[in-house]
């Protein structure tokens, strides 16, 4: 048996996959002060369902996959270690100046952000290496020793080291590492060139600073996690999800905790990739996870999940860049709890402010007074006030109506339904914009994409999002309410290797490229061996980051070969680059030299199955069938049939309007759309 | 369709379409950054993209450099329409004439009309990008001392058709290749701009087909009206009044010996919901490159105003209706006449226009304006050129190696990395490693300077020291520094920031001062030493929150001594606020003249 456990802000989701492949979903409240307790609570709920004691239940599990927000929460709440920053003399302000840039050039109310590590804990090391890797100023070890005494005296719990050009020649950083080990043996540290071998000193320094500041805390958390699981009867292997959408053994991750920052959300695209492939033949899938407050979107292209190197913690230019690749997830402030308001100029806004879970939407009757997207959906008849979250919560439609009437409909001079529909429409547009940023903005056409809706609020407006983007298919998976945990079960052990090697189209060096690719392949094979997997199961994908001469931002180009033989192969590679550049940026420059900068090989080994089983039907939910009055723009109020997803026969194509309910979500299908229940269990909708 | 019969969009539809137009600008900008070839585009992001309506009004310029876009795009499209009344789909025009609406000649701007299926010119998309070189007589895009355009030497394109039916005119390309330094770099940048323009046009054509052109026209009118109503509301919330203020640029060759003083007179009239900025009381145009084009003069005054307006008011032609800027024909700021040079029009003196306007606003109300933002362009932002000994190839590019310049605001400390007033902090700062790869230099130092900030209740940014030099071959560097003498002043009792300075460090280690306007060769083994200004403070330093002072001391930005003498804040030996001693010191200081910087 395998379990996946995703600790979120409100709920800890747990999915159990039994050996026959059947999956079941459980939830328990997250315990913010003690997240391991939340996991054990969820496991206890599951054990109860399986009629086992917790030790017996855990004893049957051979694998636990964990997604955690522990690292990101520590950063956001300022609970990371007191950390020193060691850098090249003359350059103490790398973390202060960052890379410049600003959002909102006319907004002076926003203070300039503080550096991740203060100047007070920044130490300048006398040394300098140049772009060619040559030593300009040798490391002054005596002075460095005195500096390390000062570092020790400052009472830090961790150290980040980032020297200029250590990526070209690491000798000084390595020596400082040795000296730290000797003089401050108990203080964990990170050498930037080892963690993130990339050009641009701020990104490297920021990565090292964040990583080292997480080491004491994540080391404790991960070792406690494994020991408490063990004492609760778990004897299997514990893997933790990483920002790159793979997994690492808990002990391995404790050495590079920065990779845990997007642990959790990074799994939704993995699940999306699976459903995109089983439910459609489209080359693209857009994965959208709608929670109460945020809308997280990502993309799967021909089975590949794109990554970004510009991951920010917080807002761009106001937060901190991690400097490391992460699955490219864009989050905007839009969700079921997004608050609607009309400004003094008469413009309707929805979000980014959210009513959260406390006080929540007006209809929760828990003190909320500002109408939200959820309130609008209730007013429009999409939600059943007696069957929200499978009947676990009652909603107050009158309160929602009054709030929308007075704060939205009246100032906009619209009737109640038009006002509520406008709230849905504005929220839809905000979500569409987020998707356009990762698709159209990158030159990717969403009309070739399936939209995959996950998260509790996805069903409200995904049909309209899909239509607005011209997506031909909308997929609502049956595991949608815990999409990340479902993704974790399909996640693979993976790692990625990078080699910087500049070769240009006018001085192509075929033997060097081939030997480099062979070397990358060897590292992948070694990884497969270490993981105890077989080479037949493993997948190795090569790519190159390339650009026109003079550009400094590369585009990633998947490689069709791992061995180049002759002019024709090079010509094919160049044509692929020109075509990709024109595809994304509307122009090509065939007269220009192309520079191939960085070569990568990604290796992944599936663990057990790489598909997902079905959830058992909930007999209570299947019996529900009814109809209710719902409002649709263009049609007005329509008598709308309501179905339980589990009760729909597979394959029968039906026409909207309809509302499809599951124990966790409500899916709205407007009169223009058609839908059917797919063999995977997903609800499939043609918008 | 006339105004009376146009369909009226509700607030939701208005918001949706506005977001989509904003998205078009972002897409264009992303293309320019990712595909540009010169550092000034792909490292520093010195470009802007915007959309102008059929009525020649600025619709949106999301994520642009303020000085590039508030006024100018409107003037340029008006000029385009007057010389090319019959544009066709697939036409693209290059425009960089500061006498016809552009900012300065270095900002090459591609104008691409969006023409519907019936041949109607509906919108114009603009991609404006500061070039690494434009064929000036010397290798810089800021020729501060040029007597006129002939000495300046820029190739000028007053809305010249360079693309027809999506095909580039290769005659034009060949011509530029002969007159612009490092032609491959220029050509790559041109293609990057073209990609941005194509993407903007493609997006708006798709919107027109999807939503209907009449609806988009109705949107434009209504969106601008909405923006105007937001501006009216913002001005009505201000205190009314009038004030004048001055800001002086240091002397360089071609200016009077005391420099150039800009005067801005501002009147806020909440009843009429209008702000007037009168710039007519200013000197005549001068035989140097500092004259400020019409677009930049208008824009600088408007930025000065918008920096004090609720930031959520959209910056477009609707909001602009509530600002009247009065200009002088033939003024050094105003409407300079060809062939006088406007080479450095976006920065040096334009910043002084904005600073004078902000100081005048601060004089009207303690909730408005800000201290003077620091001065451009120190040696850390030189245009450098030479032959790279590693490749034997020529290079030319503007560096953005270190800048601060932010000024104290009425309710918050400075945004540190402003670069200069008109930039609004939008440009990136170069990575030292990237600069050392693409340019044969070594950067010895880049650090903030303690005690150099403009003190105040809300303080300005500290200055920044940058020291760098060529490796393996001599390098030509050109810059026009300001602020050696007229360092950035504070507002409402705030203090001035420390002055700027520039030196060459000779091989024996000694420093030799350089003139403020400088076109010089730096030898291998020598370095340029750039001391760039921070910004002025806002409000009296004696009223600064002692906790903020304490944090600055802990961070090494302010010394303990200065904390006591300037901020009246006493710290304990372990660098915490000594509350009692601070209260005693502040009480004793009360009534005394403010301490100079």
Mean pLDDT for chain A?
90
Chain A, window 565-584: residues with a beta carbon less than 8 angstroms from a chain B beta carbon: 581, 584
Domain hosting B124: range is: 11-228
pLDDT tens sequence across B402-460? 999 999 999 999 999 999 999 999 999 999 999 999 999 999 999 999 999 999 999 99
Q: In terms of domains, do B165 and B51 share one?
A: yes
Quick one: pLDDT band at residue A584, thresholds 50, 70, 90?
A: confident
* Residues on chain A touching B315 (C-beta within 8 angstroms): 106
Nearest by CB to residue B191, choosing from A99, A100, A587, is: A587
CB contact under 8 A, A551 and B42: yes
Residue B67 and residue B193 share a domain: yes
So what's the pLDDT on residue A124?
98
Convert the pLDDT of each residue in B560-571 to its tens digit.
999 999 999 999
B155 and B33 share one domain = yes
**A526 vs B84, higher pLDDT:** B84
Contact B530, B374 (CB under 8 A): no
Of B34, B303, B437, the CB nearest to A585: B34
A206 interaction partners in chain B (CB closer than 8 Å) = none
Cβ pair B431:A202 closer than 8 A: yes
Among B523, B539, B555, the domain-final residue is: B539
**In a mutagenesis test of the B interface, which of A100, A128, A549 is the best target, namely the one with the most B β-carbons within 10 Å?**
A100
The confidence band for B2, taking pLDDT boundaries of 50, 70 and 90, is very low
What whole-number percentage of chain B has pLDDT above 90? 94
**How far B361 CA lies from chain A's nearest CA (Å)?**
15
Q: pTM higher than 0.95 for the full model? A: no
Answer yes or no: is B290 within a domain. no
Judge whether residue A207 has pLDDT over 60. yes
Query: Using CA atoms, how far apart are residues A607 and A236, in angstroms rounded to an integer?
Result: 13
In a domain, B192, yes or no: yes
Q: Which pLDDT tens digit goes with each residue over B282-292?
A: 999 999 999 99
Q: Count the domains in chain B.
A: 3
Q: How confident is the model at residue B1 (pLDDT cuts 50, 70, 90)?
A: very low
Looking at residue A332, what is its pLDDT? 81
Residue A623 confidence (pLDDT) above 60: no
Q: Does A239 touch chain B (CB under 8 A)?
A: no
Domain assignment present for residue B223? The answer is: yes
Domain annotation covers residue B3: no
Residue B49: pLDDT band (50, 70, 90) is: very high
Burial class (CB in 10 A: 0-12, 13-18, 19+), B468: buried
Put simply, the answer to whether A199 touches B31 (Cβ < 8 Å) is no
pLDDT of A336? 87
Across A121-147, average pLDDT: 98
Whether B527 and B549 map to the same domain: the answer is no
Residues 272-331 of chain A whose Cβ lies under 8 A from any Cβ of chain B: none
Q: Does B303 touch chain A (CB under 8 A)?
A: yes
Count of CB atoms within 10 A of residue A636's CB? 8
Check residue A91 and give its pLDDT.
Answer: 98
pLDDT > 70 fraction of chain A, expressed in percent and rounded: 96
Q: Which of A435, A546, A550 to mutate to test the interface with B (most CBs of B within 10 A)?
A: A550
Q: Across chain B, what does the average pLDDT equal?
A: 95
User: Could you tell me the two tokens for B486?
Assistant: 């007229």
Q: Which of A109, A342, A553 sits opposite B411 (nearest CB)?
A: A109
Interface of B with A in 243-272 (CB under 8 A): none
Residue A532 or residue A629, greater confidence:
A629
The three-state secondary structure class of A476 is strand
Residues 6+ apart with CB under 8 A from A427: A334, A338, A340, A350, A351, A373, A461
Same domain for B417 and B521, yes or no, is yes
B68 and B92 fall within a common domain = yes
Contact with chain A for residue B198, Cβ under 8 A? yes
Query: Mean pLDDT across the stretch B376-397?
Result: 96
Question: Using a CB-CB distance cutoff of 8 angstroms, which residues of chain A are in contact with residue B16?
Answer: 425-426, 429
**Claim to verify: residue B38 and residue B170 sit in the same structural domain:** yes
What is the pLDDT at residue A312? Answer: 87
Q: How far is A412 from chain B (nearest CA, A)?
A: 7
Q: Is residue B287 part of a domain?
A: no
The Cα–Cα gap between B434 and B439 comes to 8
Q: What is the pLDDT of residue B3?
A: 45
Is B403 part of a structural domain of the chain? yes
**A251-295 pLDDT, tens digit each:** 889 999 999 998 877 888 989 989 999 999 998 999 998 877 778
Chain A 95-114, residues with CB within 8 Å of chain B CB atoms: 96-112
| Range from A469-478, B272-281, B456-465 carrying the lowest mean pLDDT | A469-478
Q: Which of A107, A548, A584 shows the shortest C-beta gap to B188? A: A548
- Complex ipTM > 0.90: yes
Considering CB atoms only, which of B12, B403, B424 is closest to A106? B424
**What would the mean pLDDT of B130-151 be, rounded to a whole number?**
97
Q: Which of B228, B248, B266 is the last residue of a domain?
A: B228
Task: Say yes or no: B383 and B508 in one domain.
Answer: yes
Considering only residues A428 and A614, tell me which one the structure prediction assigns the higher pLDDT.
A428
pLDDT band at A175 (very low <50, low <70, confident <90, very high): very high
Q: Are residues B46 and B116 in the same domain?
A: yes
The band of A249, judged by pLDDT with boundaries at 50, 70 and 90, is confident
pLDDT average, residue stretch B267-277: 98
Tokens of B354: 């904005």
The answer to whether the CB atoms of A346 and B229 lie below 8 A apart is yes
Residue A619: which pLDDT band, with cuts at 50, 70 and 90?
low
Average of pLDDT values for A31-49? 90
Q: Find out whether the peptide bond into A236 is cis, omega within 30 degrees of 0.
A: no
Mean pLDDT, residues B156-172 = 98
CA dist., res. B313 & res. B308, Å (int)? 11
CB-based contact, B209 to chain A, within 8 Å: no
Which of B9, B11, B92, B186 to mutate against chain A (most A CBs within 10 Å)?
B11
Q: What is the pLDDT of residue B451?
A: 98
Q: What tokens does A552 get?
A: 């400094």
Does residue B324 sit within a domain? no
Q: Which chain B residues are within 8 Å of A344, Cβ to Cβ?
A: 230, 233
Q: Which residues pair with A389 in a beta bridge?
A: none
Kindly determine whether residue A108 and residue B409, on different chains, have CB atoms separated by under 8 Å: yes
A117: which residues sit within 8 A by CB, 6+ positions away?
A: A83, A84, A85, A95, A160, A209, A213
Q: What is the pLDDT of residue B593?
A: 55
> DSSP 3-state assignment of B504?
strand
- List the one residue out of A578, A574, A577 whose CA is nearest residue A564: A574
Q: Which residue of A has its CA nearest to B430?
A: A99
Report pLDDT digits (tens) over A567-583: 999 999 999 999 999 98
- Is B277 domain-assigned? no
Same domain, B533 and B548: no
Q: A586 vs B307: CB contact, 8 Å cut-off? A: no
- Chain B, 378-417: which have a CB under 8 Å from a chain A CB? 400, 402-403, 406, 409, 411-417
* pLDDT band at residue A246 using 50, 70 and 90 as cut-offs: confident
Among B27, B211, B28, which Cα is nearest to B126's? B28
Residue B324 burial (C-beta neighbours within 10 Å; 0-12, 13-18, 19+): middle
- Structure confidence at residue A76 (pLDDT): 77
Measure in Å the smallest separation between the Cα of B569 and chain A Cα atoms: 19
pLDDT at B428: 95
Q: What is the mean pLDDT of residues B76-92?
A: 98
Mean pLDDT across A365-394:
89
Domain boundary among B228, B250, B282: B228
* Neighbour order of strands in the sheet with B527-532: B441-448, B464-470, B527-532, B501-505, B511-513
Q: Contacts of residue B402 in chain A, CB cutoff 8 Å?
A: 97
**A&B contacts, CB < 8 Å:** 226
What was the pLDDT predicted at B7? Answer: 58
Q: Contact at 8 Å (CB) between B348 and B378? A: no
Give the DSSP H/E element, type plus range, for residue B244: strand B241-249
Verify that B19 and B51 share a domain, yes or no: yes
Q: Find the CB nearest B229 among A107, A345, A549.
A: A345
**How crowded is the C-beta side of A570, counted as CA atoms within 13 Å?**
18
Contacts of B311 in chain A (CB under 8 A): 104, 106-109
Q: Are residues B16 and A436, on separate chains, in Cβ contact within 8 Å?
A: no
- Do B525 and B570 lie in a common domain? no
Mean pLDDT of A423-442: 85
Q: With bands split at pLDDT 50, 70 and 90, how would you rate the model's confidence at B18?
A: confident
What pLDDT score was predicted for residue A84? 98
**CA of A6, closest CA in chain B: separation in Å?**
34
Asked if A382 and A460 count as a contact pair (C-beta separation under 8 A), the reply is yes
Which chain A residues contact residue B36 at CB under 8 A?
A: 551
């Amino acid at each position: 048996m395998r379990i996946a456990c995703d600790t979120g802000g409100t709920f800890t989701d747990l999915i159990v996959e039994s050996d026959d492949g059947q999956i079941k979903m459980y939830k328990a409240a997250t315990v913010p002060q003690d997240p391991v307790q939340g996991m054990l609570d969820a496991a206890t709920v599951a054990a109860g369902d399986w009629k086992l004691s917790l030790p017996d239940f855990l004893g049957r599990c051979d694998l636990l996959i964990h997604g955690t927000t522990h690292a990101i929460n520590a950063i956001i709440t300022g609970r990371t270690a007191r950390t020193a920053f060691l850098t090249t003399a003359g350059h103490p302000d790398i973390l202060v100046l960052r890379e410049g840039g600003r959002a909102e050039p006319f907004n002076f109310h926003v203070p300039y952000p503080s550096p991740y590590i203060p100047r007070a804990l920044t130490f300048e090391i006398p040394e300098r290496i140049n772009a060619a890797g040559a030593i300009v100023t040798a490391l002054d070890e005596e002075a460095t020793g005195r500096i390390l005494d000062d570092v020790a005296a400052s009472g830090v719990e961790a150290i980040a080291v980032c020297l200029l050009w250590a990526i070209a020649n690491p000798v000084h950083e390595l020596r400082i590492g040795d000296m730290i080990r000797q003089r401050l043996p108990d203080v964990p540290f990170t050498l930037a060139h080892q963690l993130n071998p990339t050009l641009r000193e701020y990104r490297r320094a920021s990565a090292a600073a964040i990583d080292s500041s997480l080491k004491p805390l994540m080391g404790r958390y991960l070792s406690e996690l494994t020991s408490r699981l063990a004492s609760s009867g778990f004897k299997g292997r514990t893997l933790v999800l990483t920002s790159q959408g793979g997994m690492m053994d808990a002990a391995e991750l404790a050495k590079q905790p920065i990779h845990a920052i997007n642990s959790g959300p990074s799994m939704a695209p993995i699940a999306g990739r699976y459903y995109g492939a089983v439910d459609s033949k489209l080359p693209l899938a857009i994965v959208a996870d709608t929670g109460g407050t945020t809308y997280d979107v990502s993309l799967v292209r021909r089975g590949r999940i794109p990554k970004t190197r510009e991951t920010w913690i917080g807002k761009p230019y106001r937060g901190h860049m991690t400097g490391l690749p992460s699955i490219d997830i864009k989050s905007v402030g839009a969700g079921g709890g997004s608050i609607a308001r009309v400004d003094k100029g008469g413009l309707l806004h929805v979000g980014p402010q959210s009513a959260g879970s406390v006080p929540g939407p007006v209809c929760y009757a828990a003190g909320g007074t500002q109408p939200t997207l959820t309130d609008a959906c209730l007013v429009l008849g999409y939600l059943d006030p007696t069957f929200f979250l499978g009947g676990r919560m009652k909603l107050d439609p009158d309160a929602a109506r009054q709030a929308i009437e007075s704060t939205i409909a009246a100032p906009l001079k619209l009737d109640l339904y038009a006002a509520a529909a406008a709230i849905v429409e504005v929220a839809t547009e905000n979500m569409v914009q987020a998707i356009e940023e990762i698709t159209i903005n990158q030159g990717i056409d969403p009309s070739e994409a399936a939209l995959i809706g996950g998260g509790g609020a996805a069903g409200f407006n995904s049909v309209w999002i899909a239509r607005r983007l011209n997506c031909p298919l909308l997929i609502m998976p049956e595991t949608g309410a815990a999409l990340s945990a479902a993704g974790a079960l399909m996640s693979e052990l993976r790692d990625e290797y990078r080699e910087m090697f500049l070769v240009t189209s006018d001085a192509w060096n075929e033997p060097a490229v081939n030997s480099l690719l062979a070397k990358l392949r060897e590292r992948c094979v070694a990884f497969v061996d270490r993981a105890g997997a077989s080479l037949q199961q493993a997948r190795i994908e090569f790519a190159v980051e390339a650009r026109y001469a003079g550009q400094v931002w590369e585009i990633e180009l998947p490689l069709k070969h791992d061995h180049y033989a002759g002019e024709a192969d090079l010509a094919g590679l160049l044509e692929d680059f020109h075509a990709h550049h024109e595809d994304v940026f509307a122009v090509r420059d065939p007269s220009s030299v192309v520079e191939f900068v960085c070569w990568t090989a990604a290796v992944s080994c599936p663990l057990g199955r790489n598909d997902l089983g079905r959830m058992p039907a909930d007999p209570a939910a299947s019996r529900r069938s009814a109809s209710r009055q719902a409002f649709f723009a263009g049609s007005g109020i329509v008598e709308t049939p309501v179905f339980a997803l589990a009760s729909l026969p597979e394959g029968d194509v039906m026409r909207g309007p309809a509302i499809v309910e599951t124990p966790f979500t409500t899916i709205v299908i407007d009169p223009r759309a058609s839908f059917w229940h797919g063999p995977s269990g997903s609800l499939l909708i043609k918008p | 369709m006339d105004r009376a019969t146009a369909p009226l969009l509700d607030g939701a539809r208005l918001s949706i379409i506005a977001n989509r137009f904003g998205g078009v600008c972002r897409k264009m900008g992303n293309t320019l950054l990712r595909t540009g070839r010169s550092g000034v585009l792909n490292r520093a992001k010195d470009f802007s993209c915007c959309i102008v309506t059929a009525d020649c009004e600025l619709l949106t310029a999301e994520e642009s450099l303020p000085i590039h876009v508030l006024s100018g795009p409107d003037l340029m499209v008006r000029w385009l329409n007057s010389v090319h009344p019959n544009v066709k789909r697939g036409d693209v025009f290059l425009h960089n004439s500061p006498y016809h609406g552009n900012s300065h000649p270095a900002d090459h701007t591609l104008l691409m009309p969006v023409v519907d299926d019936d041949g109607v010119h509906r919108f114009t998309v603009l991609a404006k990008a500061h070039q690494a070189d434009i064929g000036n007589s010397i290798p810089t895009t800021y020729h501060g001392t040029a007597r006129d355009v002939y000495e300046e030497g820029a190739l000028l394109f007053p809305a010249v058709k360079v693309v027809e039916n999506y095909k580039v005119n290769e005659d034009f390309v060949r011509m530029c290749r002969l007159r612009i330094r490092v032609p491959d770099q220029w050509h790559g940048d041109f293609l990057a701009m073209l990609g941005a323009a194509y993407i903007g046009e493609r997006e708006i054509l798709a919107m027109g087909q999807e939503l209907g052109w009449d609806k988009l026209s109705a949107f434009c009118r209504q969106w601008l009206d909405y923006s105007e109503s937001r501006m009216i509301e913002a001005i009505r919330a201000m205190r009314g009044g009038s004030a004048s203020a001055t800001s002086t640029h240091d002397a360089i060759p071609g200016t009077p010996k005391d420099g150039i003083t800009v005067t801005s007179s501002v009147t806020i009239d909440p009843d009429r919901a209008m702000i007037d900025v009168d710039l007519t009381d200013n000197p005549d145009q001068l035989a140097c490159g500092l004259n400020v084009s019409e677009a930049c003069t208008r824009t600088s005054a408007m930025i000065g105003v918008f920096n004090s307006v609720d930031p959520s008011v959209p910056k477009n032609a609707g909001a602009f209706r509530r600002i009247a800027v009065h200009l002088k024909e033939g003024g050094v700021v105003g409407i300079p006449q060809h062939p006088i040079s406007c080479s450095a029009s976006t920065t040096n003196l334009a910043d002084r226009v904005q600073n004078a306007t902000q100081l005048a606003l601060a004089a009207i109300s303690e909730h408005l304006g800000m201290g003077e933002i620091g001065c451009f362009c120190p040696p850390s932002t030189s245009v450098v050129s030479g032959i790279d000994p590693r490749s034997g190839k020529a290079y030319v590019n503007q560096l953005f190696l270190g800048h601060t310049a932010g000024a104290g605001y009425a309710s918050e400390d400075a945004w540190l990395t402003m670069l200069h007033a008109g930039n609004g902090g939008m440009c990136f700062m170069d990575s030292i490693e990237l600069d050392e790869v693409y340019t044969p230099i070594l950067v010895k130092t880049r650090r903030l300077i303690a005690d150099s900030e403009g003190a105040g209740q809300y303080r300005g940014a500290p200055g920044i020291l940058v020291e760098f030099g060529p490796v393996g071959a001599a390098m030509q560097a050109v810059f026009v520094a300001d602020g050696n003498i007229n360092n950035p002043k504070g507002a409402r009792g705030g203090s001035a920031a420390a002055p700027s300075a520039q030196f060459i460090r000779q091989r024996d280690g000694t420093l030799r001062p350089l003139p403020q306007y400088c076109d010089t060769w730096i030898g291998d083994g020598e370095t340029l030493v750039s001391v760039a200004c921070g910004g002025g403070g806002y409000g009296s330093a004696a009223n600064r929150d002692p906790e903020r002072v304490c944090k600055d001391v802990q961070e090494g930005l302010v010394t303990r001594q200065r904390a006591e003498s300037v901020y009246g804040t006493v710290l304990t030996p372990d660098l915490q606020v000594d509350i009692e001693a601070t209260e005693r010191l502040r009480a004793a200081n009360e009534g005394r003249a403010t301490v100079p910087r």
